[in-house]
Every structure is written in C-alpha cells, then in structure tokens.
C-alpha cells in the first residue's frame, strides 16, 4: 500500500492519496474543526458505457439505461435495504448515475465508521433475482416517464439528440421503457463484475476524518480483486452537429433554451485547457460580463441563465441555458458576441476579473466537504488533480485565453433547443 500526501501552498491545505492493496484508490481530505464528514464511492461506469470488451475479449453490448438500473438495484440485498441500515447511523445517503460514472455517497456528523462500513459493504455485495429485477422495471419505467414530462430534461436531451449523431450521450441516462425491458439479473451481474472492480473505482472522504480511521474500515471491508483491462467502444462521431434547431411544446410559463456548441472531443482536457476554458466562459457569460448585461437589458434572460463545459469520454460541448421570452433572439445575441470577441479580441480587464473569480470560487469550495470529495472524484476520473487545477488557473495568461477562444465556440456548429408553449396556449 502506498500513501502520498498532496499539498497545495496556494490553498494552504493537503490531502492524501492511497493506493490500497485491494486495488481501490482512496482519497482522504481531513478538515480540522469540521463536525461533518462526506464519503463518495464511485465507479468509472455511466450511461454511455454500453459497448465494451474485457481483457481484449469479444465486444459486449448491453441495453441503454442498465448503469442507472444497476445503481437502483444495488441498494437491495438479501438481508434488506441499505437505506434502512443508514437510518440506524443517522447518515444522509444517496446515489446517482451520470453519463460517465455511478456514485454512492453519504454525509454524517456521527457514527462515520459504521456508515462507511455500510457503504463499502452494500456496493460490494450485489443481489439480483428475476423477481426483484422485474419489480424495478415498473418503478424505473415511471421515472423515465417523469423525465419525459420534465421541460428542463427534455430541452437538454433534445439538444444532445440534435448535436450528436452516434455518441450514446444523446440517449437518456435512464434509457427507455423498451430498453430497460431487456435488462435481466444475468446482465446486471455481467456489467457489475466488469465495472464494479475495485481497480475501476475510487473512494473519496473529506471532513472530520483521519487517514487511519478510513484505512481501518477499508482494510476490514475491501475485497481484493484482479485488475482487468476494460475497453469502451464508441462509434466515430463527426465534428458537425446534426440539426441547428429543435423545439418541443410544453405547458411552461416561460420558454426554456439550451444553446450547445459542439467541440472536438479527441481526448479529455488537461488542467491547463480546463483552466483556460473556465476563465474564458466566465469572461463571456458570467454576471459581470458585457454579454450578460446586454441580454438582461434586452429582457432576453433572467437569473436562471447559466453556462457549463459539458465533457466526458468521446464528447465535449459548451452549453448556455436558461429561460427567455425570445430564445432565438437570445441565442443570436450570444453567437454575435462570441464572433465579435474572436474578431476583436478579449478584454484584458475582463480577464483579470474572471481569473480572480474562478480562482476564488475554487478556493472557497474547499470549505465544503461535499464539494471537495465530488471535485476529487471528477478530477480523478478525468485524469487530472484538484490542486494542479488551482495552480493551472493561477498560471493562466491573457494570451492563453485568447488562443483558447479561437480553438472553440464555433458559431456555425451549434444547436439551439427550445421548449415553449403551444401557440394557442401562449
């Protein structure tokens, strides 16, 4: 077992990376003076991982939505439900499946050791039967229908479907009623045995904890397993979007929009590119930006306006979203502003403001134990490191961000998705 201390002079803090003998990577970020602790146990397995091979074997294809389905089923065991066990320790537990990972988590102010033991126990102890799998199909089927009736969910996935031709990121994380009907107990065990290998997973703990405390439970609960080489397959994805505009009618009081700029996704961004992108997007669309003020003055957005870098294995885009009385007009103003900045260059004053804002936001997030653990697991799965990202932000120059702008945000390669009222209802 190898324990490495990771320090940051800028943050004035440190945490520990442990290469555990079981094959699991563990991060522990002690926070003195804190009363709470937060743990997240995740696997590099999400909704997009539907086609893969193990140790160069034959290619396996599984139904859409199976990663999310597995997350639901893992809380059940032959002895009962994990939530019932957490109720006895007082921990607040949850789980989620995203496009690229599945995570199980809890927060607590007391009985941390017992709660961590529950987490490591049920995630390593799958229990699927034909009866329990069939029962869950109705439950998740209702969840899928609920998402289909959510304007916020539909405006995003309509955009992804119009942007991506082949990549499974365009498919709902929960799958469809038809695809989950294909899921069996055997298929759940198949994907579990591939992706829930400790060598493919990570545990991040932060707050009122010590390394020794975490290791004591880890040594007791973790079951060593053989490392396998997992290869995920994605069809070639063209750079160009499929459709520039898509809309759907919903009973909404104000139209919603997602404007997505499709980026090249040859490989995951490193710390330097991430830092440049974070600062650039803040310069373009944060509440201090010229664009934000112009959109507000024109009554084209409200406080729901947001932006994000949306990146994962084989996909990358930048998304601007929010409510707008005139989504097409708002999208056109965003594109015109980006074109203007590319032609005339960015403002150095805006750069200094945004750089300080991005840096300050990251540093302030270190006061939240959930933000710490969630960030560490994201950086780990992306091949980056949190403190290195902080250094990268501090070292980013104005010229770096100007160059980054010219590499991305192609105004001729974006999709506008709108959810609005029926004309006769509006």
With cut-offs at 50, 70 and 90, classify the pLDDT of residue 424: very low
Instruction: Find the angle CA(55)-CA(58)-CA(59) to the nearest 5 degrees.
Output: 100
The one-character DSSP state at 100 is: S
Looking at every residue in the chain, the average pLDDT score rounds to 94
Q: Is 38 in contact with 207 (CB distance < 8 Å)? A: yes
Nearest Cα neighbor of 283 from 358, 336, 343, 335 is 358
Query: In 3-state terms, what secondary structure has residue 417?
Result: strand
Percent of the chain with pLDDT over 90: 88
Mean pLDDT value across residues 220-242 = 94
With cut-offs at 50, 70 and 90, classify the pLDDT of residue 242: very high
Nearest Cα neighbor of 226 from 203, 201, 197, 202 is 197
pLDDT in tens, 88-126: 999 999 999 999 999 999 999 999 999 999 999 999 999
- Domains within the chain, CATH numbers bracketed: 2-232 (3.30.830.10), 245-420 (3.30.830.10)
More confident: 144 or 308: 308
Per-residue model confidence (pLDDT) at position 147: 85
Per-residue model confidence (pLDDT) at position 171: 95
Q: How many residues does the chain have?
A: 426
Per-residue model confidence (pLDDT) at position 307: 98
Per-residue model confidence (pLDDT) at position 426: 47
Q: Is 71 in contact with 96 (CB distance < 8 Å)? A: yes
pLDDT in tens, 287-298: 999 999 999 999
Query: What span, in angstroms and rounded, lies between the C-alpha atoms of 199 and 44?
Result: 10
Per-residue model confidence (pLDDT) at position 256: 97
pLDDT in tens, 182-219: 999 999 999 999 999 999 999 999 999 999 999 999 99
Q: Is 52 in contact with 59 (CB distance < 8 Å)? A: yes
Helices and strands counted in the chain (H then E): 15, 17
Per-residue model confidence (pLDDT) at position 343: 96
Mean pLDDT value across residues 363-385 = 95
Query: Which residues have a Cβ under 8 Å from the Cβ of 338 and sit 6 or more positions away?
Result: 284, 409, 411
Q: Is 135 in contact with 388 (CB distance < 8 Å)? A: no
Mean pLDDT value across residues 280-289 = 96
Mean pLDDT value across residues 120-146 = 90
For residue 284, count CB atoms less than 10 angstroms from its CB and return exposed for 0-12, middle for 13-18, buried for 19 or more.
buried
- Of 71, 136, 271, 323, which one is the catalytic site residue? 71
Mean pLDDT value across residues 221-227 = 91
pLDDT in tens, 34-74: 999 999 999 999 999 999 999 989 999 999 999 999 999 99
Percent of the chain with pLDDT over 70: 99
Q: Is 235 tagged catalytic?
A: no
| Res 418 pLDDT > 80 | yes
pLDDT in tens, 335-370: 999 999 999 999 999 999 999 999 999 999 999 999
Residue with tokens 């010590």: 210
Instruction: Find the angle CA(409)-CA(151)-CA(320) to the nearest 5 degrees.
Output: 15
Per-residue model confidence (pLDDT) at position 120: 97
With cut-offs at 50, 70 and 90, classify the pLDDT of residue 266: confident
């Amino acid at each position: 077992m190898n324990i490495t201390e990771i320090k940051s002079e800028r943050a004035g803090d440190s945490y520990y990376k442990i290469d555990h003998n079981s094959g699991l990577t563990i991060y522990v970020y002690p926070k003195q003076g804190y009363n709470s602790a937060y743990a997240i146990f995740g696997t590099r397995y999400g909704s997009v991982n539907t086609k893969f091979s193990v140790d160069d074997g034959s290619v396996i294809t599984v139904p859409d939505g199976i990663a999310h389905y597995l997350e639901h089923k893992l809380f059940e065991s032959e002895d009962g439900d994990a939530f019932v066990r957490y109720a006895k320790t007082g921990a607040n537990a949850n789980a989620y499946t995203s496009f690229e990972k599945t995570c199980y988590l809890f927060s607590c102010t007391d009985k941390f050791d017992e709660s961590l033991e529950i987490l490591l126990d049920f995630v390593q102890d799958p229990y699927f039967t034909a009866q329990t799998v069939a029962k869950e199909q109705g439950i998740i089927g209702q969840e899928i229908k609920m998402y289909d009736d959510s304007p916020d969910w539909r405006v995003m996935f309509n955009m992804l479907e119009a942007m991506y031709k082949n990549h499974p990121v365009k498919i709902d994380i929960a799958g469809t009623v038809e695809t989950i009907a294909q899921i069996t107990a055997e298929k759940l065990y198949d994907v579990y045995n591939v992706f829930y290998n400790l060598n493919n997973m990570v545990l991040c703990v932060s707050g009122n904890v010590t390394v020794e405390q975490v290791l004591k439970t880890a040594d007791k609960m973790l079951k060593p397993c053989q490392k396998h080489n997992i290869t995920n397959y994605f069809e070639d994805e063209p750079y160009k979007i499929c459709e520039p505009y898509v809309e759907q009618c919903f009973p909404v009081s104000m139209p919603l929009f997602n404007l997505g700029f499709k980026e090249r996704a040859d490989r995951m961004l490193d710390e330097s590119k991430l830092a440049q992108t974070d600062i650039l997007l803040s310069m373009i669309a944060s509440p201090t930006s010229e664009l934000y003020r112009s959109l507000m003055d024109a009554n084209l957005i409200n406080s729901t306006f947001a932006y994000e870098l949306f990146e994962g294995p084989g996909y990358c885009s930048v998304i601007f979203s929010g409510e707008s009385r005139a989504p097409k007009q708002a999208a056109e103003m965003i594109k015109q502003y980006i074109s203007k900045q590319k032609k005339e260059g960015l403002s150095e004053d805006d750069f200094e403001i945004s750089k300080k804002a991005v840096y300050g936001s990251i540093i302030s997030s270190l006061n939240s134990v959930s933000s710490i653990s969630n960030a560490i697991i994201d950086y780990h799965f992306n091949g980056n490191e949190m403190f290195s990202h902080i250094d990268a932000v501090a070292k980013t120059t104005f010229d770096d961000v100007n160059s980054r702008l010219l590499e991305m945000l192609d105004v001729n390669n974006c999709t506008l998705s709108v959810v609005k009222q029926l004309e006769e209802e509006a």
